[in-house]
Amino acid sequence: MEEGHPRENAMLLQGKSGIVFGVANKRSIAYACAQSASAQGATLILTYQNERVEKTVKELADSLPNEAIALPCDVSTEAGLDSAFEKIVDHMPNPHFGVHSIAFAPREELEGRFCDTTREGWNTALDVSAYSFTSLARRMEPLMTEGGSLVTMTYFGSEKVMPHYNVMGPAKAALEASVRYLAADMGPNNIRINAVSAGPIRTLAASGVSGFSQFLDIAREKAPLRRNTSRDEVGDATVFLVSDLSRGVTGTTLWVDCGYHIMAL
Ligand code: NAD
């Protein structure tokens, strides 16, 4: 092993700090990422959308093994992001990584036919679920002075048609394309950008997709590993992507879906 190799450190994120955007409750993939990162020694800021979940997310931050605080961050406006970043910079001027685990589409867009997507529903879904990652990456770039790693969460519905996933399909496709463009822009500053494509997991966001239980049943039956993906598996894969172990990896999507995406039938 070369001298100074990251595996010499027992904890993968010892001495690192990062921001996990999009914790709503204990089922959130963002919280699983926070748990995995904290267990590996990271100091964290967890962000939540609004005061409705503030108390819960503050309690979740307190429950982590390492130092963590919770701050509000609504990504639907530039003003919301600006004010969130003012607070973030006060607490963590030079983060090493960020995890974007945020998506939204109006519930009525996640049932019926895709072709009935409204202009307003499209704009909201693409804005909150895809553009917010670029806007957030642009704000993170100057802070990550030692280089860094940003990860976002995507889903197979970007590539294949999932019943009722509808407008979220194009939103995730836009998000995955943004990962590649951001990686090309920010690579010269040693900032890596990747996505994790998680298998279906029961969460608040998932419950908005009509017939979501079917996604779980079919994935369990067809996936090579013959089970559903767990949130801690997504958290651990995300830790790999924000740690130095993945220092040669950028612009890619890491599938954490028990292999489901390779199956044709
Ligand atoms: P979740 O409901 O726990 O998380 C979604 C988060 O987005 C919530 O914290 C919510 O508050 C936040 N959010 C929505 N609008 C926002 C806004 N305007 N400003 C700030 N935050 C906002 O559900 P989750 O399943 O953990 O979703 C996290 C990510 O994982 C999403 O990108 C989702 O598409 C992705 N994902 C989920 C699954 C799954 O099956 N659950 C699979 C693959 C990918």
Q: Return the pLDDT at 108.
A: 97
Q: What per-residue confidence (pLDDT) applies to 2? A: 56
Catalytic residue, from 31, 165, 181, 260: name it: 165
Residue with the smallest CA separation from ligand 1 atom 28 is 101
The alpha carbon of 38 and the centre of ligand 1 are apart by a number of angstroms equal to 20
pLDDT of residue 219: 97
Residue with tokens 């701050």: 71
Q: Is 155 a catalytic residue?
A: yes
Burial 181-195 (b: 16+ CB within 10 A, else e): ebbeebeeeebbbbb
Ligand 1 lined by 57 (C-beta under 6 Å): no
Binding site membership of 260 for ligand 1 (Cβ less than 6 Å)? no
131 is an active site residue: no
Question: Ligand 1: does its nearest atom lie under 6 Å from the Cβ of 198?
Answer: yes
Q: Can you tell me the distance from the alpha carbon of 65 to that of 39, in angstroms, rounded to the nearest whole number?
A: 6
Instruction: Ligand 1 pocket test: pick from 19, 21, 27, 29 the residue with the most ligand atoms within 8 Å of its Cβ.
Output: 29
Query: Nearest-CA neighbor of 98 among 201, 204, 17, 40?
Result: 17
Give the model's pLDDT for residue 27.
98
Spans of the chain, pLDDT less than 70: 1-9
CA distance linking residue 97 with residue 173, whole number of Å: 23
Return d(Cα 196, Cα 62) in angstroms, integer. 26
**Structural domains in the chain?**
17-262 (3.40.50.720)
3-state secondary structure 55-68: HHHHHHHHCCCCCE
Q: Of the residues 136, 176, 203, 229, which should be mutated to test ligand 1's pocket, given the most ligand atoms within 8 Å of the CB? A: 203
Q: Are 242 and 99 in contact (CB under 8 A)?
A: yes
For the question of whether the overall pTM of this predicted structure is more than 0.95, the answer is yes
Alpha helices in 76-211 (DSSP H): 78-91, 119-126, 132-140, 168-186, 204-207
pLDDT of residue 6: 53
